[in-house]
Amino acid sequence: MKAFAYVNATNEKEAVAALTGATRGRVLPMAGGMDLLGTMKDYIVSPERVVSIKNLDQTITSAGGGLRIGAAVKIADLAEHAEVKKLYPALVTAAEGVGTPQIRNLGTVGGNICQRPRCWYFRNEEFNCLKKGGSRCFAVEGENQYHAIFGDGPCHIVHPSSLAVPVIAYGGRFRVVGPNGAREVDAGQFFQLPNANLYGETVLQPDEIVTHVLLPAPGQRSAVYEVRFKQSHDWPLAAAAVSLVMSGSTVKSARIVMGAVAPIPWRVQAAERVLAGKTITEAVAVEAANAAVAGARPMSGNAYKIQIAKTAVKRAIMAASRV
Ligand SMILES: Cc1cc2nc3c(=O)[nH]c(=O)nc-3n(C[C@H](O)[C@H](O)[C@H](O)COP(=O)(O)OP(=O)(O)OC[C@H]3O[C@@H](n4cnc5c(N)ncnc54)[C@H](O)[C@@H]3O)c2cc1C
């Protein structure tokens, strides 16, 4: 690992001051450090300065009828929080599924949302892939069993954050700070496809950080369903988060987001439209699941993910309808 300077920011102001003027990759924020230190050890990033933001807001408070979750909250604490458990069950299921207890005790909400892709070509310093300034995505002709079935490249990563999927399904927002002050970004607009941003995955400028996740007032029925190769210590192969606004037994509106199938959490409005105005039955859930994967474009080794994603959507809809 290359030597670097270390700044321990104890509040938002210090963090912003230490990040101001950062150009991409030269100064990087670090929360739990689990993902960042891995990318530094593998020479994927080599910052000159690392700014610790793990001591920023670690509270979960009520705000505007919903919740305001500090980015430095540990994933384990999120999963154990009484109000989150009661009001946002899909977020709790996603948090409980992350990695292992050790990972959830160290990893933060902000770090989870901003973690870098797990693509083995991106993570291997020997492959100068598109994301690192190279001229091709090695997954196209290589080992692509865990890569995207949506998004149309040119880089075929899948977004790794389990928490981002339900946050978008709930219609959440991220509070972001930087040298120009604070702004709020709709979580659904926060992540960027490779054709809009090849070297990063979000709208964050190099000198900005996420300080909070803002969840709107609950009132929905919601659920997450993840399909995993292993029960722990790994990321999902496909996931789906569903949140439903009901009028009696009829769905008034729905939000459906798939995870691990595209370079960003993948919202499927075609599937949402299938549910609107209907009472949920297994047949309706299957129709919505079919609509969710209708535009999939698998690569040579990952067509199996279509069935898995379809199953995740159907089961998340059925689970949400029973909450
Ligand atoms: C074996 C294993 C299994 C895992 N399984 C899963 C899983 O199933 N689902 C899942 O979602 N994750 C999984 N993870 C990933 C894990 O949850 C993340 O590595 C962890 O959440 C990162 O949190 P952190 O606080 O350590 O982030 P850090 O390592 O500190 O940061 C991660 C990245 O985000 C940036 N960053 C951190 N905080 C902010 C912020 N507030 N604003 C802007 N940028 C920021 C950093 O610069 C860095 O690039 C797994 C990890 C391992 C090792």
The predicted model scores a pTM of: 0.98
Q: How far apart are CA 232 and CA 266, in angstroms?
A: 23
32 lines ligand 1 (CB under 6 A): yes
Comparing C-alpha atoms, which of 91, 313, 35, 55 is closest to residue 214?
91
Whether 129 contacts 122, CB under 8 Å: yes
| Cβ-based neighbours of 130, under 8 Å, separated by 6 or more | 136, 137, 154, 155, 194, 198
pLDDT value at 281 more than 90: yes
pLDDT value at 275 more than 90: yes
What does DSSP say about strands 238-247 and 266-267: parallel, antiparallel, or unpaired? unpaired
Q: 245 alpha carbon to ligand 1 midpoint, in Å? A: 31
Q: How far apart are CA 163 and CA 109, in angstroms?
A: 8
- pLDDT confidence of residue 149: 98
Does residue 247 sit in helix, strand or coil? strand
Q: How far apart are CA 46 and CA 93, in angstroms?
A: 34
170 lines ligand 1 (CB under 6 A): no
Query: Taking all residues of the chain, what is their mean pLDDT, rounded to a whole number?
Result: 97
Per the document, the length of the chain is 323
How confident is residue 22, by pLDDT bands cut at 50, 70 and 90?
A: confident
pLDDT value at 19 more than 90: yes
pLDDT value at 23 more than 90: no
Q: 219 alpha carbon to ligand 1 midpoint, in Å? A: 29
Its sign, for the CA torsion 279, 280, 283, 286, is positive
How confident is residue 231, by pLDDT bands cut at 50, 70 and 90?
A: confident
- pLDDT confidence of residue 219: 75
Tens digits of per-residue pLDDT, 89-140?
999 999 999 999 999 999 999 999 999 999 999 999 999 999 999 999 999 9
Greater confidence (196 vs 231) lies with 196
pLDDT value at 218 more than 90: no
Pocket test for ligand 1, best of 7, 39, 73, 98 (most atoms within 8 A of CB): 98
pLDDT value at 278 more than 90: yes
Comparing C-alpha atoms, which of 6, 16, 115, 1 is closest to residue 50?
6
35 lines ligand 1 (CB under 6 A): yes
| Cβ-based neighbours of 196, under 8 Å, separated by 6 or more | none
pLDDT value at 232 more than 90: no
202 lines ligand 1 (CB under 6 A): no
Tens digits of per-residue pLDDT, 292-306?
999 999 999 999 999
Comparing C-alpha atoms, which of 117, 205, 110, 99 is closest to residue 167?
110
Whether 59 contacts 74, CB under 8 Å: no
pLDDT value at 265 more than 80: yes
Side-chain half-sphere exposure of 226, counting CA atoms within 13 A:
27
| Cβ-based neighbours of 26, under 8 Å, separated by 6 or more | 47, 48, 49, 206
Structure tokens at 6: 């270390």
Q: How far apart are CA 77 and CA 83, in angstroms?
A: 11
User: What residue owns the CA closest to ligand 1's atom 37?
Assistant: 111
Whether 144 contacts 137, CB under 8 Å: no
Task: Give the max Cα distance, the chain.
Answer: 60
Pocket test for ligand 1, best of 7, 34, 52 (most atoms within 8 A of CB): 34
Tens digits of per-residue pLDDT, 32-85?
999 999 999 999 999 999 999 999 999 999 999 999 999 999 999 999 999 999
Q: 247 alpha carbon to ligand 1 midpoint, in Å? A: 38
How confident is residue 21, by pLDDT bands cut at 50, 70 and 90?
A: confident
Tens digits of per-residue pLDDT, 242-264?
999 999 999 999 999 999 999 99
- pLDDT confidence of residue 204: 98
pLDDT value at 323 more than 80: no
Question: How far, in whole angstroms, is CA 120 from its chain's centroid?
Answer: 18
112 lines ligand 1 (CB under 6 A): yes
Computed over its alpha carbons, how large is the radius of gyration of the chain? 19
259 lines ligand 1 (CB under 6 A): no
